[in-house]
Amino acid sequence: MGQTVGMACIYDTGPSGKAEGSACGATDSCITETLCDTTCLPQCDGPSGMCTTGTCTAVLEGTTTLGYVCK
């Protein structure tokens, strides 16, 4: 019917994005399974998520959590 029934968020990531550890900004995409937090960092599964190095930390835009990264 063309009605909005929900909202979704997608990450701008993909195989041709910037490599993990690369500097990034709001208009950049990072490789799959990483997110931009001024640097492309590995994604993790929330506040208690496991990280090989660092701590699983929220990526915020204002007060909105965009995702979680290991840093």
Within-domain flag for 50: yes
Within-domain flag for 4: no
The tens-digit pLDDT sequence of the chain (71 residues) is 455 444 445 566 778 899 999 999 878 889 999 998 999 999 999 988 999 999 999 998 889 898 999 99
Within-domain flag for 63: yes
Quote the pLDDT of residue 11. Answer: 64
Within-domain flag for 3: no
Q: What pTM does this model have?
A: 0.77
The two beta strands, 64-70 and 56-61, are antiparallel
Within-domain flag for 7: no
